[in-house]
Copies of this chain bind each other. A is one copy, B any other.
Amino acid sequence: MADINFAAEQTSPVGAAAAPADPAEPAYDLIELMFFAYRAFTGDADGMLARYGFGRAHHRALHFVARHPGITVAELLDILKITKQSLGRVLRELVETGYVVQREGHADRRQRLLYLTDKGAKLAAEVAQVQTGRLMRALADSGETRESACRLFNGILDPDQRREVETLIARGDGNRRDRHK
């Protein structure tokens, strides 16, 4: 009780508002907006997947299999940065319920290549569509461009991860069946 931090009571009388450009000043606005924004963002997927008895882990697996049809278990582990055991349970459930199928690798028959079933592709697309709606609305309401948003998010990554993530996203885009024009 002797060492309570009386921050609130010790404020100086002169209150300056937002935007402290001082680099030593904690960017509480950005920190907290990140937290609340991400919670809202993942809430979309959480709610939709819960209706099928799945959790966040299932969604992540579903999403990246949707984006990289034929991905191997090892590659998926590398993206998600979880253990084989954790992914194993989730993947087994997705296979048992008919959202994902595994096929033997062509070149390397030890591999289990992952694909979505039609049912899985439909669910993944529905979730992606809702998330896209939220992000597009955010762009419209904020007046930001998609390019600037991408640059900002990319900048938040560790510098040595940026190239890797860019490549991954580009690779996913290359797997699209619905490319037009």
Contact = CB atoms under 8 A, between A and B. Distances in A.
A146 interface: yes
B101 A150 contact: no
A108 interface: no
Interface of A: 1, 3-12, 14-23, 25-41, 60, 63, 66-70, 81, 101, 103, 115-121, 125, 128-129, 131-132, 134-144, 146-159, 161, 165, 168-170, 172-181
A38 B34 contact: yes
A2 to B, nearest CB: 9
A108 to B, nearest CB: 17
Given A28-B169, A169-B28, A175-B11, A155 B139 contact: yes
A63 B101 CA distance: 43
Contacts of A153: 30, 33-34, 36-37
Contacts of A144: 148, 151-152, 155
Given A33-B165, A172-B28, A179-B12, A3 B150 contact: no
